[in-house]
Amino acid sequence: MAQTGTKRAKVRKGDQVVVMAGRDKGKRGRVLDVKPAEGKVKVEGVGVIKRHQRPNPGANKPGGIIEREAYVDISNVQLIDPADGTPTRVRYEVAADGSKTRVASGSGQALDKE
């Protein structure tokens, strides 16, 4: 099934989020990467998987078992409200000049750092 157009994610790289479902439920972390088209997000310390890696002297990579974060579904994370530290939904407010800002639905506090 091919999708056309672009998908927007309300979660951005560097945001503080909390995991709402899955084996890492309740963990908090910083967003490392976002794939809006696939609906996936990579969070620091969440969804850690082990990968066996062969040594590659040319690229100066040692061999062994490497632990790294896997992508989790974007629907399983919520942003943390800067006002009180609780999980919150996100909405957009459009200013008079047409600029959009992300706002925490719970407290109404802006999430974008300007």
Instruction: Write out pLDDT tens, residues 13-65.
Output: 999 999 999 999 999 999 999 999 999 999 999 999 999 999 999 999 889 99
Owning domain of residue 108: 81-114
Q: What share of the chain is helix, strand, coil (3-state, %, to 5)?
A: 5, 45, 50
CB neighbour list of residue 105: distance below 8 Å, 6 or more residues apart: 88, 89, 90, 91
Beta-ladder partners of 94: 100
Tell whether 113 and 103 lie within a shared domain: yes
Tell whether 108 and 59 lie within a shared domain: no
pTM confidence score: 0.81
Tell whether 19 and 65 lie within a shared domain: yes
